[in-house]
Each structure stands twice: as structure tokens, then as C-alpha cells.
Amino acid sequence: MMRIAVVDGQGGGIGSTIVKRLREKFGADVEILALGTNSAATSAMMKARANKGATGENAIIRNTGRVDVIVGPLSIVLANGMLGELTPGIAEAIASSMARKILLPVNQEGVEIAGIQREPLPHLIEKVVEYLKPGIRGR
């Protein structure tokens, strides 16, 4: 079974939307681990039906090496992202993880990615699902 970590902070709105869509599309074929920089984010992702949840820097650092895929906004690999909630340690752990990373180019941190068209969040999340489909069906 594929293990997917969804990482988010602040209110967990992006993460909970990702978890909800992954659960709708793949049901029990995936294990979803909600990793929040704060309890509100983790709680929102758990309400969206993640299998397990953990909160804070140590929990995120410890678990990013135990999953197959990490999904979240681009800011999860930016030190001090999410208004400072995302610590340099978290950014390093995620960027260094051997897990496949699928990052949504949501421009919250003053970082622009050349060549990327801005799209609404629901369209970006559908792209996440499309990226994951072959890996889940192949298991």
C-alpha cells in the first residue's frame, strides 16, 4: 500500500482539500499521513479522513523518511515558509527525503516559478491525483 504524507500548516485548508480528494479517488488503496506544522492543520486534515496525523517539527522530520510520497504546497521546502511555521529543519527533511515529492506551485512566499501558469487550487489537486494514479494502480 502506498503511504502518502500530506504536509500543511496555518489552517490546513490546502492539506485538507488534498486529503479529501485523495480519499475520494483512491479510497482505502492508500494510507494518508497528515503532517501539520500546527494542531489546526493536522486536525483539518484528519477531518478530511487521513489515516493518521502528527503535529510539529519533530513529527514531520521523523515521518518524511517513512513514506513513499510527500504532497503539499511549494512552501513545504522553503525554510521559514508559511509565515515562519515551516522551520529550516522541516524544509531540509522534506527536501532530503527519498520520497517522491509532488508540490503545488501556490505562490505564498514571494517565490515565482518561471514557466508555470497560475491555476486554481482544485485544478492543481487534480494534477496531484493524475501524478499518483499510475503508482497506485501498479501496486
CA angle 127, 128, 134 (to 5 degrees): 95
Which residues, 6 or more positions from 89, have their beta carbon under 8 angstroms from its beta carbon? Answer: 57, 61
**Distance, CA of 29 to CA of 32 (rounded, Å):** 10
User: Strand locations in 9-90, DSSP E?
Assistant: 30-36, 52-55, 69-73
**pLDDT digits 0-9 by tens, 41-72:** 999 999 999 999 999 999 999 999 999 999 99
Domain boundaries, the chain: 2-137
One CATH from 3.40.50.10320, 3.40.50.1220, 1.20.1440.230, 2.30.30.40 for 2-137: 3.40.50.1220
Among residues 56, 9, 61, 54, the alpha carbon closest in space to that of 32 is found at 54
Residue 139's pLDDT band (boundaries 50, 70, 90)? very low
- Per residue in 103-117, pLDDT (tens digit) is 998 876 678 888 888
Band of residue 137 on the pLDDT scale cut at 50, 70, 90: low
